[in-house]
């Protein structure tokens, strides 16, 4: 694929829109021919911090410039981004235009790019890893399931949908495989890039795609999920276009790939998801900070901290070796959970952690056992941590879970938030 020739000196955001629209049309035509010469347009929804938590938000220009990224404002909320290539294959040619950032409010902004999926994802992960100010918007399996139930499943039974399920029990690996670093994945690319020359550790691992008419998926999905637990670990969801042909693919870490022929509709989808996720964080934090109703007796924890707990119950208990491996690797210097702490062992399968979340370095208290995880964040800290925990537990620890925030089912909180977000609109 060829590298897109971004506008070098766009005079405003609308010139960028026209450029991305041209790429969308050409990319859509390439998909029709089953061969595309250029990467598809994609967006990454990023989260910072809300002033309601007592912190002072920073503008995206300041955050990115701290990372050595060049930012050129085109208007008050839209900016051009220039960065050096990182990772394998990087060259020394210096900064180049890699995309554009749109700020939605003090907490959320989107990064639009037409770089290849792996290159773009590596860049965003690099920004997040190096900056405690940034985190992805985490669309957990439960959130994706709710979006399927309330939105995608109603876009027409004859339209084609795509659901991708992914669960990988990385903590079931033998101890002699522990040198494989538990770092953030380098790319949520669509292709399986494994080769038969790579080591294949024996552990539960499932990646499954359903591509079919929406009506057929609705008829079979619940039965399949009841028979095979990893099918609760929904990893990506395809939204058929509302205004024409094509679709938009949403991945857990807030990446949305445009497979339609309209960048305007793609941007509307990004704004729809930003409103949805923003409503979920507002509801999460309101529940965690202010709704101090007693936790049901069967869900109570011994953590000595004030706050409403997030409780994640595993429907399948994990073994003692897997539990020990999980605790050991979950607090390495770099890890998928983005946590820091020194575990205190209270038994073979019970641990307390008084630690911190690397996003904003906010305190977090954890109780971990073979049956469940309990997390408490003090008032004023970021609810994004809850959603990242739920996402990564279903992907890497236990695919089928029950979750509560205090006494409220986590799924109910998500359902309420999606209903309150206002849904998709083409008027943004």
**CA dist., res. 365 & res. 377, Å (int):** 7
In a domain, 313, yes or no: yes
Asked which of 233, 268, 283 is the last residue of a domain, the reply is 283
Any idea what the CATH number is for the domain that residue 43 is in? 3.30.310
Same-domain status, 98 and 116: yes
SS3 state of residue 313: strand
Same-domain status, 215 and 153: yes
Number of structural domains (the chain) is: 3
Asked which of 258, 283, 308 is the last residue of a domain, the reply is 283
Determine which helix (DSSP H) or strand (DSSP E) holds 417, and give its type and residue range.
helix 410-420
| Torsion angle in degrees (nearest 10) through CA of 259, 414, 398, 121 | 30
Same-domain status, 251 and 174: yes
Q: What per-residue string of b and e applies to 389-398 under the rule 16 or more CB within 10 Å gives b?
A: bbbbbbbbbb
**CA dist., res. 290 & res. 307, Å (int):** 9
Same-domain status, 232 and 145: yes
**Eight-class DSSP state of 244:** S
Same-domain status, 223 and 148: yes
In a domain, 127, yes or no: yes
**Residue ranges making up the domain that contains 261:** 141-182+198-283
In a domain, 423, yes or no: no
| Residue 160: closest CA among 240, 219, 88 | 240
In a domain, 428, yes or no: no
**H helices, E strands: number in the chain:** 9, 19
- The answer to whether 285 touches 398, Cβ cutoff 8 Å, is no
pLDDT in tens, the chain (428 residues): 566 789 989 999 999 999 999 998 887 766 555 666 678 899 999 999 887 767 788 999 999 999 999 999 999 999 999 998 765 445 566 789 999 999 999 999 999 999 999 999 999 999 999 999 999 999 999 999 999 999 999 999 999 999 999 998 888 855 544 444 444 444 444 444 444 445 555 566 788 899 999 999 999 999 999 999 999 999 999 999 988 889 999 999 999 999 998 999 999 999 999 999 999 998 888 887 765 444 455 545 555 556 678 899 999 999 999 999 999 888 887 778 889 999 999 999 999 999 998 888 888 899 999 999 999 877 767 888 889 999 999 999 999 999 998 888 888 888 888 888 777 766 55
Same-domain status, 80 and 94: yes
Same-domain status, 177 and 71: no
In a domain, 187, yes or no: no
């Amino acid at each position: 694929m060829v590298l897109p020739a971004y506008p070098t000196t766009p005079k405003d955001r609308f010139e960028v829109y026209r450029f991305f629209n041209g790429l969308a049309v050409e990319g859509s035509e390439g998909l029709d021919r089953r061969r595309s010469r250029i990467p598809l347009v994609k967006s990454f929804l990023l989260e910072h911090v809300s002033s309601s938590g007592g912190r002072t938000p920073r503008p995206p220009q300041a955050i990115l410039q701290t990372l050595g990224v060049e930012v050129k404002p085109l208007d008050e909320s839209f900016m051009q981004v220039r960065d050096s290539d990182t990772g394998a294959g990087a060259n020394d040619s210096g900064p180049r235009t890699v995309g554009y950032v749109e700020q939605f409010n003090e907490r959320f902004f989107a990064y639009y790019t037409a770089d290849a999926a792996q290159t773009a994802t590596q860049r965003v992960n690099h920004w997040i890893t190096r900056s405690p100010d940034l985190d992805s918007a985490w669309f957990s399996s439960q959130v994706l399931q709710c979006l399927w139930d309330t939105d995608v499943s109603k876009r027409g039974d004859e339209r084609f949908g795509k659901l991708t399920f992914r669960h990988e029990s990385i903590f079931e690996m033998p101890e002699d495989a522990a040198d494989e670093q538990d770092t953030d994945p380098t790319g949520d690319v669509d292709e399986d890039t494994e080769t038969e020359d790579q080591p294949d550790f024996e552990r539960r691992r499932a990646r499954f795609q359903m591509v079919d008419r929406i009506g057929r998926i609705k008829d079979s999905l619940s039965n399949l999920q009841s028979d095979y637990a990893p099918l609760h670990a929904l990893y990506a969801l395809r939204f058929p276009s509302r205004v024409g042909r094509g679709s938009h693919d949403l991945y857990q870490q807030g990446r949305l790939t445009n497979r339609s022929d309209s960048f305007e509709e793609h941007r509307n989808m990004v704004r729809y998801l930003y409103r949805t996720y923003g409503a979920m964080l507002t509801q999460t934090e309101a529940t965690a900070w202010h709704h101090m109703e007693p936790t049901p007796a069967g869900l109570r924890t011994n953590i000595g901290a004030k706050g409403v707990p997030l409780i994640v119950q595993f429907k399948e208990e994990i073994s003692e070796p897997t539990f020990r491996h999980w605790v050991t690797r979950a607090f390495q210097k770099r890890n998928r959970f983005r946590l820091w702490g020194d575990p205190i062992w209270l038994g073979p399968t019970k641990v307390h952690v008084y630690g911190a979340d690397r996003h904003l370095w906010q305190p977090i208290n954890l109780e971990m056992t073979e049956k469940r995880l309990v997390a408490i964040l003090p008032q004023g800290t970021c609810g994004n941590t809850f959603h990242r925990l739920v996402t990564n537990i279903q992907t890497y620890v236990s695919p089928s879970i029950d979750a509560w925030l205090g006494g409220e089912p986590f799924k109910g909180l998500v359902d309420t938030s999606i209903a309150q977000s206002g849904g998709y609109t083409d008027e943004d």
